[in-house]
Amino acid sequence: MQDILLLEDDKSLNRGITFTLQKAGYSVTSAFTLAEAESCLEESRYSLIICDITLPDGSGLDLGRRIREISDAYFIYLTALDSEIDMVNGYEAGADDYITKPFSLMVLVSKVNALMRRIGSAKEEKGVMACKDIEVNCREMKVYKDGREVALSKKELQLLVYLWENAGRIVSKENILEHIWDVDGQFVDDNTVTVNISRLKAKLGTDEISNVRGLGYIWSGKVIRR
């Protein structure tokens, strides 16, 4: 059973989400403050963390940044902050997804299921892919540049592998959303792909990813498998 940490200070909403996810087959640990969540993270490992941003003892953005330093767990922000800059801040803090309130529990479960499927499929990947000074160990789910490990979120890693699998070909935003997020774009903000592409380019320090206006993105470097 895959473990989820839910940080939501609204007790009624916390109970509702917990019940729904448990009914879907997940093990859920509930926390209502940052302090409680950090204590849970010290004691256990989680496949997914669902986190509010506005909390009684601080900001969920700070927790996201700290988690990205120590963990590659999937991370979803679930918040009432719905402006474009709020979403950008969420993704820059390390989120794999950003859901605004009010929201559908059915959509939340669908997103959680999609993320968990990615965990399973990523573990089944084998071999090593490389392009110039960047290398991806698909079995270990790790990325290296000049021999040094680069900390990528699971979404960023999946995005990189998808671009490499299609190296030299343009992939549209719609194809990326469908492949990486398992959705058709209806429930994902259009900035999701743009923000994740920007984060990936910055972390890898590469100019191999190009935006083809009106069409999508392309990885121009030669990718080899071994």
**Cα–Cα distance, 133 to 148 (Å, whole number):** 10
Q: Are 217 and 197 in contact (CB under 8 A)?
A: yes
Query: How confident is the model over 162-193, as pLDDT tens digits?
Result: 899 889 889 988 888 888 876 544 445 668 88
Cut 0.75: pTM above it: no
Give the long-range contacts of residues 148-153, CB within 8 A, separation 24 or more. 150/203, 150/204, 151/68, 151/69, 151/72, 151/203, 152/72, 152/200, 152/203, 153/68, 153/72, 153/74, 153/75, 153/94, 153/96
CA distance 184 to 197: 18
On the question of pLDDT at 126 being above 60, the answer is no
Tell whether the model's pLDDT for residue 205 goes beyond 90: yes
Closest CA to 111 of 123, 125, 121, 96: 96
Backbone φ/ψ region at 56: left (φ over 0), alpha (ψ -120 to 50), beta: alpha
Per-residue model confidence (pLDDT) at position 184: 46
Domains of the chain: 3-120 (3.40.50.2300), 125-225 (1.10.10.10)
Q: Which residues contact 11 (CB under 8 A, 6 or more apart)?
A: 32
Q: Give the helix ranges, DSSP H, for 133-209.
A: 154-165, 173-180, 191-204
Any idea which residue has 């900035």 for tokens? 191
Confidence of residue 50 (pLDDT cuts 50, 70, 90): very high
User: What are the tens digits of pLDDT across the range 62-84?
Assistant: 998 888 777 778 889 999 998 88
CA–CA dist 152, 69 (Å, integer): 10
pLDDT for 60 equals 94
User: Which residue's entry shows tokens 């090593």?
Assistant: 128
Which residues neighbour 207 within 8 Å (Cβ) at sequence distance 6 or greater? 201
- Residues 157, 184, 169, 143, Cα dihedral to 10°: 0
Query: Cβ(29)–Cβ(57) under 8 Å?
Result: no
